Amino acid sequence: MELRITTLIGMIGFAAMTRLLPHPPNFTAVTAMALFAGAQIADRRLALLVPLVAMFLTDLVLGLHTGMLLVYLCVALVVGLGSLAGPRLSPRLAGASIASSVLFFAVTNFGVWAMDGLYPMTLAGLGACYVAAIPFFQNGLAGDLFFTAVLFGGYELLRRVAPSLATAR
């Protein structure tokens, strides 16, 4: 396998493994690795497959849950955002990271409201679900921005050290 693809897959795998380390709730690399895959891996199927497989493997350790399909759907959508954001650190990428956080928050908490039976099936119940999740959103947004900077910035540093990684998307 080409060095560039191997490096990208390794970085995504490492990002996924951070889910297994102690961290504040929702401060993870989930959307950052999906953005990174979408932005850096030209083969759309591989860009989608790598973060989904990484998520699944770490979910086997963390435990499977009822809302996983929505999480995986979010990961797939964020890969698409990554392909639109571009491969370099930029205001556009920061915007994509923030949009990823909002998407993840909106979709997964809608799923909690709709499937877990914790809230009444009313607009007030949906609102209560979103309000209760705000502290997790703050951590998620901070984690998304942090890990996006780490992955994209780290890869840029690697490209400067190893010019063979500089192959265009």
Sorted by where each starts, the structural domains of the chain and their CATH numbers stand as 3-164 (1.10.1760)
Q: Give residue-wise pLDDT tens across range 134-164.
A: 999 999 999 999 999 999 999 999 999 988 7
Contact present, 132 and 116 (Cβ < 8 Å): no
Q: Specify the range with the lowest mean pLDDT, choosing from 4-8, 52-56, 88-92, 144-148.
A: 88-92
Q: 109 CB contacts (<8 Å, ≥6 apart)?
A: 129, 130, 133
Q: Is 133 a residue whose pLDDT tops 80? A: yes
Q: Mean pLDDT throughout 74-85?
A: 95
Q: Apex CA 71: angle with CA 126 and CA 56, to 5°?
A: 155
The structure's pTM equals: 0.91
pLDDT band at 15; cut points 50, 70, 90: very high
Residue 166 pLDDT:
72
Would you give the end-to-end CA distance of the chain in angstroms? 16
pLDDT tens by residue, 22-75: 999 999 999 999 999 999 999 999 999 999 999 999 999 999 888 899 999 999
Q: Does the pLDDT value for residue 1 go beyond 70?
A: no
